[in-house]
Homo-oligomer: A and B are copies of this chain.
Amino acid sequence: MADSVTGRPRIETVAQLAGTSPITVSRALRRPEKVAASTRARIAAAIEQLGYIPNLSASSLASRRSGIVAVLVPTLGHSLFAETLRGISETVAAAGLQILLGDYAYSTERERALLRALAGRQPEAVVTIGLVQDAAQRALLAALGGPVVETWDLTPEPIDTVIGFSNEAAGAAVARHFLAGGRRRLAFAGGADLRAAARLQGFAAAIAEAGAAPPCVVKTSDLAVGAGRVALTEILESDPACDAIFLANDVVAAGAVLEARDRGIAIPGRLAICGLGDLEIGRAIRPVLTTVNVDAYDIGRRAGQVVVDRLSGTAVGARVIDVGCSIIVRESG
Contact = CB atoms under 8 A, between A and B. Distances in A.
Contact of A140 (B51, B77, B86): B51
Contacts of A102: 93, 98-99
A61 B55 contact: yes
Interface in A290-320: none
A73 to B, nearest CB: 10
Nearest to A84: B76
Interface stretch (A19-27, A115-123, A182-190, A209-217): A115-123
Interface in A104-125: 105, 110, 114, 116-122
A76 B86 contact: yes
A86 B77 contact: yes
B86 A98 contact: no
A200 interface: no
B54 A120 contact: yes
B285 A258 contact: yes
A6 interface: yes
A57 interface: yes
Given A86-B76, A225-B281, A284-B224, A58 B61 contact: yes
Interface string A42-83: 000000000101111111110010100000000111010011
A229 interface: yes
A35 interface: no
Contacts of A53: 116, 119-120
A208 interface: no
A180 interface: no
A158 interface: no
Contacts of A58: 57, 61
A286 interface: yes
A83 to B, nearest CB: 7
A172 to B, nearest CB: 30
Contacts of A226: 280, 283-284
Interface in A6-51: 6, 8, 51
B100 A98 contact: yes
A170 B143 CA distance: 52
A60 B122 CA distance: 12
A77 B83 contact: yes
Contacts of A283: 225-226
12 contacts: A56-B120, A57-B58, A76-B82, A76-B83, A76-B85, A77-B82, A86-B103, A89-B103, A98-B117, A99-B100, A224-B280, A281-B281
Give the 7 A-B CB pairs with smallest separation, nearest first.
A225-B284, A57-B60, A56-B120, A101-B101, A57-B61, A224-B280, A226-B284
Given A54-B120, A93-B110, 5 more contacts: A57-B57, A77-B83, A98-B117, A258-B284, A262-B286
